[in-house]
Amino acid sequence: MDHLRVDVFDNGAVRLGTNLVCDGYAEGFDFRVQTHIHDDHMGDFNRSKGLQDIFMSRETKALLIAELNADIEYRDNIISLGWGEEKELEDGTKLTFVRSGHMLGSTQVVVEYPDGLRCGYSGDFSWPINDVIQVDELVVDSTYGSSASIRKYSQGEAESCLLEIVSQRLRHGSVHIHAHRGTIERVLHILSANIGVPILGSKRLISEISVYQANGFALGSVTSTDSEKGRVALNGKSYVRLYAKGDGFRNELIEGTSISCSAFMTKPDNPVVEYSEKAFGVALTNHADFEGTIEYIRATGAKKIVTDNTRSHGVDLAVAVNSLISDAYAQPSSNHPAFTVR
Ligand SMILES: [Zn+2]
Ligand SMILES: [Zn+2]
């Protein structure tokens, strides 16, 4: 394949051309895009803050501020963009963000060069989504790029299973639910109107949830574990407690039932794994599976595809794209990540 303008560096930074990287730092690149706030995409963020202009959606910026990165609000090299707004950068390229459906603020990225070539990065994305970027060259997330990653149940079914387990286990005591940021807000949305017990969370989580609420998400209220009301509920054993990043799940002794919500697919036809009568996994995820990933790539119209090999499955996905999409050519990114993120 001829020379591509897109690739992924060893540190996981996604390169769209010669001057812009996504979700990482690269020497000599003026611009960084932050696609969303998950930790595995935040590499070298502080370094970028000192050395690059950083672009992100307004929602991502609000979430980072809520995470106590107070200086973000006042830095003039941190620039937020609206959905679909085309931003011309100093080097003559044009940058556009399109929602990726993965969590609040998460974006797909398009950089259009003065010669008309359009380079894109999917970021983490869910499927189906309303708007798909239209590009010539694409870097695609390959987290579920293996054909073993096909889910034979819908996310609606996974949500019903979660609600059923929570309702059932609340008869035996408290329920403790752990999920990634973004997914934990979905859990709250599912439970809010449907269970008659207090829902507890950390102050950190409550400030994150308030950003979702400010952006139009109808989420029920969460009581702080540090408040008087929260302490009373904690003594009563009839409550649900939510945990995300930094909330200490597994560091404390849990007397009730614990439920982890993540995208694991040990059983492709059942969203629930029962570890014991007090411990469950529910496959709630905001990531496209293998089939969704292929459909997504088709929908972008990209003819040259780099599968991001940072989180494994890049090779599997490139092979699959080459056999399933006839007029496109895919290759795994050239990076050699030092370790594989699960
Ligand atoms: Zn993510
Ligand atoms: Zn990710």
CATH number (domain holding residue 241): 3.40.50
Going from the Cα of 36 to the center of ligand 1, the distance in angstroms, rounded, reads 7
Average pLDDT across the chain, whole number: 92
Domain identity same for 201 and 298: no
**74 inside domain:** yes
Ligand nearest to the CA of 183: 1
Residue 45 near residue 67, CB atoms below 8 Å:
no
> What range does the domain containing 196 cover?
155-282
Domain identity same for 75 and 188: no
The two structure tokens encoding residue 129: 């989504």
pLDDT for the residue 338: 54
**168 inside domain:** yes
Going from the Cα of 124 to the center of ligand 1, the distance in angstroms, rounded, reads 5
Report the alpha-carbon distance of residue 118 to residue 137 in Å, rounded.
Answer: 7
Domain identity same for 114 and 67: yes
176-to-78, 117, 256 alpha-carbon distances in Å: 36, 49, 7
Going from the Cα of 101 to the center of ligand 1, the distance in angstroms, rounded, reads 10
**197 inside domain:** yes
Going from the Cα of 63 to the center of ligand 1, the distance in angstroms, rounded, reads 14
Helix (H) / strand (E) element for 167: namely helix 155-169
Confidence check: pLDDT of 339 > 60: no
**274 inside domain:** yes
The two structure tokens encoding residue 325: 């999409």
Ligand nearest to the CA of 308: 2
The CATH number linked to 71 is 3.60.15.10
pLDDT for the residue 56: 98
**270 inside domain:** yes
Ligand nearest to the CA of 180: 1
Domain identity same for 20 and 143: yes
Longest alpha-carbon distance in the chain: 65
Report the alpha-carbon distance of residue 75 to residue 306 in Å, rounded.
Answer: 33
**338 inside domain:** no
| Per-residue model confidence as pLDDT tens digits over 205-254 | 999 999 999 999 989 999 999 999 999 999 988 999 999 988 877 656 67
Residue 27 CB contacts under 8 Å (≥ 6 apart), including other chains = none
Ligand nearest to the CA of 100: 1
Going from the Cα of 1 to the center of ligand 2, the distance in angstroms, rounded, reads 27
How many domains is the chain built from? 2
| Per-residue model confidence as pLDDT tens digits over 94-149 | 999 999 999 999 999 999 999 999 999 999 999 999 999 999 999 999 988 888 88
Going from the Cα of 310 to the center of ligand 2, the distance in angstroms, rounded, reads 10
Going from the Cα of 141 to the center of ligand 2, the distance in angstroms, rounded, reads 8
With 0-12 / 13-18 / 19 or more C-beta atoms within 10 angstroms meaning exposed / middle / buried, residue 92 is: exposed
Residue 330 CB contacts under 8 Å (≥ 6 apart), including other chains = 297, 304, 305, 306, 307, 317, 318, 321, 322
Going from the Cα of 180 to the center of ligand 1, the distance in angstroms, rounded, reads 8
Going from the Cα of 227 to the center of ligand 2, the distance in angstroms, rounded, reads 33
pLDDT for the residue 340: 44
Report the alpha-carbon distance of residue 266 to residue 151 in Å, rounded.
Answer: 10
**99 inside domain:** yes
61-to-65, 80, 123, 266 alpha-carbon distances in Å: 6, 7, 16, 35
| Per-residue model confidence as pLDDT tens digits over 41-93 | 999 999 999 999 999 999 999 999 998 677 899 999 999 999 999 999 999 99
Percentage of the chain modeled with pLDDT above 70: 96
Domain identity same for 117 and 164: no
